[in-house]
Structure 1
Amino acid sequence: MKPVPLLFAAALVVYGVARRKRIGRGEWVLGGIVFVAAVLYGTEVVHPPSLQHLIKDAGTHLGKWTYLLVGALAFLETGAFVGLIAPGEFTILVGGVVAGQGTIDLFALIAIVWACAVAGDMTSYYMGRRLGRGFMERHGPRVKITHERLEQVEGFFDRHGGKAILIGRFVGLVRAIAPFLAGSSKMPLRQFIPYDVVGAGLWGTTFVLLGYIFWQSFDKVANYAEKGALALGIVISLAFGIYTAVKWLRVESNRDNAVRWIEGQPLLRPLLPLARRVKAPLVFAWNRLTPGRLGLELTTLFMTGGIGLFVFFGYWHIFQTRTTTVGDQRAMKIAQDLNDGTLVAISKVVTTLGALPVTGSVAIAIALGLLARLRVAEALAVASGMALTVWAVHWAKDAVDRPRPDHPLVSSMDQSYPSGHSAYAIIYIVAAIVIGRMYPSWKGRAGLVGAAIALVALIGATRIYLRAHYFSDVIGGYGLACGIFSLTGIVALVVTHLRQNEAAT
C-alpha cells in the first residue's frame, strides 16, 4: 500500500464534496479519472513507469531544443493567452530539470525565460492598448475568459494596483490577462515595465531553479519519499492547513478573535509584542510595492539592479568553461574591420572619460552638490556606490582572472573582466538622474539622461575598439555598476522616506 496516493484520493473526495455546486461536468469527469488512478496506484494494482527514467529520457530527447520550447511557451502564455489553457510553470520546471541534467545551461535558460516572458507581456500590453476591454469581452470566452473571470482579475487590479503586475505573475489567471488589462486601462508604460520586469524575473528564476534543484536532489527526494511517504502526506496536509489559516486571517474579525485567544494563552502571549514590532517594517515594504512615486522608483531600482547583477554573474558563470563568447569574437572582428588611424586617436580621447580619476571627480562633485542641498542620504548613495563599484571591479578581476585581448591599442593593466572604464562610466547616468531629481521642473532631463546613456555606450565601445576589453567585459562592467548603484539608491530612498515620516509625526 502507498499512503500518499490514497491520502490524495481522499483529499480529492473532500474537495469535490465541498465544492460540488461549483464544479462542472468536465471537472467531475477529470476528477473521477484522477481519483481512480490514485486509488489504483495507492493499492498497487498498477505500477507506473519510473518517473526518474521518464524525466531523463525527456531531457535526452529535448536537448538544446529546450531553449526554444520553454522560451516560446513563456512568450505565448501572455502574448497569446495560452496560460489560461496550459499554465507555463510546468514547462519552465521541465526546462530547469533538463538544465539540472547538464544538457543545457542554467543561466542561459533563466535569461531566455525572463526575456520571453517580458516580451509576451509587452505584446499583450500593446494589444490591450490597441484593442481595449471590449475585445476581451467579445472574444474572451473562446479562451475561457468569461465575464466573471474578467471581473475577478479587475477586482484584483483595483485592490493591488501596480503591484498586481508583480505578484500577479504567480497567480495563473491574473498572469495570463493582467498585461492586456494594464494596456486597456491605459496604465503608463513607465509604470508597467518595472513591475513587469521584476515579476517576470522572479517568476522565471523561481521555477527554473525549482526544476534544477529538484533534479539535483532527485535521488534524495525519491529515497525520502519511499521511506517516509506518510510524513510527506502530513506535510501536504499542513501546507493546506496553512493556506486555509491565511485565508481565514484575511477577515479582520477573525484576526481580532485570534489576538484575543493568544492573549489568553500564557505561552503564546509573549509573541504578540514581537509580531507587532515586525509588522511595521513588513507593512512598509509591502506598501512600497504599490503605485506612487516612491513605489515606482524602488521597483525601477530593483529591476535595474536585478538585471545588472544577473548579467554580471551570468558572464562570470560562462567564463568558468570558456574564455570568449560568440559576441566577443564578432565584436573584435567588427573592430578590426573598422580600424582607422583617425578613429583610434578619437577613441583614445573618449576612452579617458571612463578612467577612474575623471569618473571619481564626477562622483565627488555630484555628492558635494547633494550635500549642499542637504540631501545627505542621496550624497552617501552616490559616494558609497562609486566606492563599492571600484572595490567590486578589482575584486572581480582577481576572482575571474580573465586575460586581456591580444595586441591592445592602449596600455592595459591587470585582468580583463569586468571593464573598469565601463563600470565607472555609469556615474554619468547617475549624475544625469540626480540632476533631474534636483530640478524636477526642467523639461530637458529626459534628454540629459539619454545623452548620458549614449556617452556611457560610447566609452564602452572604445574599450572594445581599442582591444582593451572584450564585449562581455564591457557589458559585465555595466551590469556590476548598475547593480551596486541600484542597491545604494534603494537604501537612500528608504532612509529618506523614513526620515520624512518621522519629521511629519
Structure 2
Amino acid sequence: MTHAALLLRLSPADLSVGTQGHHRPRKADVTTMSYSIDQLLPSLQSLGLWTYWVLALFAFLEATIVTGVIAPGGLVVIAGGVLAQRGYVDFFDMAWFVAAGAVIGSELSFYLGRVASNGLKRTTAYASSRHITRARGLLDTYGGFAIVIGRFFGPLSAFVPFSAAMAGMGQRKFRGWNLLSAVPYALVLPAVGYFSGHAIGILGAAAPRLIAVGATTLIVIFVLWLIIRRVFRSLPLLAEIGRSLTAGFGNRPFIRARLDQYPGVSSFVSARFRTGQFLGLTATLLVLLFIYIAGAWAESVFDFMGSGGVISTDTRIANILYTMRDPNLITVFTWITDAGGRHGVIPMLVGATVALLILRRFDLLTGMWIAAIGNQATVTLLKSFFARPRSTLGYFVETSGSFPSGHAAGSVAVWAMLFYLAWRLRLLTAATAATLAVTMVFLIGLSRIYLIEHYVSDVVNGYLVGGVWLILGIAFCEWRRTAPVAPVGVMRKRIAAVSVALALATTGYFAFNTANPLNPTLEPVLQTTATPATLIQTGMLPATTQTLTGVDRQKVNLIVTVPDQTGLKDAMTAAGWVLAPSPGPFRMMTAVVDEWTGRPVTDPIVVPTFWDNRPNKLAFTQTTTSDTADTPVLHARFWDSRFRLESGAIVYVATITRERQLDGADEESITPDTGAMSDKVLGQLAADLTAAGAGTHVLR
C-alpha cells in the first residue's frame, strides 16, 4: 500500500482507536518516556485506603514465623515510603499501620514459640537452621535488644521472637521490647523510601527502554530465586515447627477433649497429614492448591467479564509497553516466546515422550500428557468462548482469541511439568527444578506481554489454567509413585538423554530461526479540511495530556501547523527556544545532583508527558546558564496529531508549561492549574512562530 493511499477522511469515531480501546502509537514516535517503579508494577497507590492495610499485612507476614521466610515485608514498607513521598499515603498514618502489623506478627511468633517449645529444640532441623542460629546468636549477645535488630533483617524479624519464646524469655519483657522495636522499624524503613523516592522517580523518568525493562526483569527473577531458595532452605525447619505446633495444640485440654469426642473426624484429619502415602499430606496439599488456583481462575474470569477496570488497565499497560519497544529486547523476547509456543512445546513433548518410553516410566508419561492435552483442550475452548480480540499493537500476527494466553498456560502445564519430571528422574534437585520452572514461566508470560501478543489479564488467566492441569498431572504421577518401576540399562538412559537433547536443540533452532509474520503497521495519515482548532474543540483529538498512570496533566493550549518536523524545529529556534535532548539516565542523574546542590542545570531537561497515549515527540525549553533545577522555566512539548491539511502541512498539538525542570517526573507536583499559562506568553510564542512561517492557534 502506498503512502498516498493512506490519506483518509475519517469521522471522530474512526480515529485511530484499535481493538479493546487501544490508541496505536506510531512506531516512529517511540521515545524515552516518563515512568517510575510504582507506575510500571502493580501499584499500591491504586488501592486507596486499603494501601495502609496492605502495608500492615506485609509487616505482619514478615514478623510471623511461618510466612517470614518468603514475605518481603521490608521491601514493601520501603515502597510505602516512596508512595508517601509521592503523596499517595500519609507518612505517619502509614507508620502506625506498619508498626501495628509488625507488633502483632511478632506477638504471634512468640506465642507459637511457646506452643512449639516442647520437643522442638532437640531436633536436628531446628539446631542446624541458619535462621535459628543467627536469632539465638543475637539473643545471646544483645538480649532483648535483639528484637529491635532482628526487625531489619528479613526472616529474623520472625525467628528472633520465636527463639526468644523457646529460650524462656518472659512475656512482659518480650512485649516491652516488641513495642519498642516497632517504632524504628515503622519510621526508618519508610524514611528510606521517602527520601529516595524523589530520585527514583526522576531517574526512572528517563531510563532507556533496554535498561528499564531488562533491569526490571532481572530484579524480578532475582527476587523469585531468593524466595525459592529461602523456602527450600527453610522447609525442614518449617516442617519441624509444623509438627511441633500440631502436637502442641493437640495437647491443649480443650482441643484434646474435642478430638476425643469425635474420634472419627480426628482420625480422618490425622490421616490427611500423614507422610509416606499419596492420600496423606501429598493429596491434601494438592487438593488445597487445586481449590485455590481454581478459585483464583474463577475470580479472574469474573473480573475480566464484570470489571471495566481490567480492560482499561490492560489497554494502558499495552500502550506503555509499545512505547518501550527496543530492537534488542524484541529479539530476545521473540526467542523466549517461541519456546513457549508450538515450536518449543511440541518438540519437548515428543522428546520427553520418547525418553519416558525408553525408560519405561509410563506413570510419568501419562501424567505429562494429562497436563498437556487437558491444558490445550481447555485453552482452545476458553479462547472460543470468550473470543477476545487481539491487541492491534501486537508485534506478530495472531489469529486466535486473546483470553487466555495459550503460551502462558503451556509454560505452566508443559514446561513446569517437564522440570517436575526432571526432578522425579533425579536429574535436578527440587530447588533447581523449581527455580528453572518459575523462571521459564515468568519469562514466557513476560514475552507475551512485552510483544503485546496478549494483555496482562490474558497471561494471568493462562497461568491459572495451566496451573490447574499441572496439579492434575502431578497428582497422577504422585498417585502412581509407589508402582514398581522396571529397571533400565545404561544404554537406554543414554538414548533417552539423546532424545531430550535433540528436543532441546530443535526448540532452540525454531526459536532462533522462525520468521513469524509481522503485524503490519499501517499508520493512517488523516487528511482534514477542518480548521486545526476544530479538531480539539469537537473532540476529534484529546484535549488533555496525561502522565503514564493516566493522571490528567494539563490541557493542550497551542496548535502549530508546519510543512515538516524540521520546519517546527527551525521555527521554535527562531522564536528563541532551545531543543531539549532526550533525557537519558546520565543527564538525569546530573540534573538530580544539580537540584540537590542548587547548581545551574548543565543541560535543559524536559520530562516527557503522554498525549493520545504517546509521549511527546519534541520538547523545547527557555533556560539560561544560571537556571537551577528549582527555577521555574517554560517547557514546550509537541505531538504529531497525524492530521494533515490539504496543503500537506502537519498539525502538531502542544502544551506550554512553566515548571521546575524535574516536575514532570513527580505526579505530586501536578495540580489542576498545571497547564495554566498567561495569554501574554502564549500570544508571544504564537506571534514568533507565525513570523517564522508556521501556522498557529492558541487554545484558551
TM-score, normalization by structure 1: 0.46
Instruction: Determine which structure has the larger strand proportion and give its number.
Output: 2
- More relative contact order in 1 or in 2 (CA 8 Å, sep 6+)? 2
More helix by share: 1
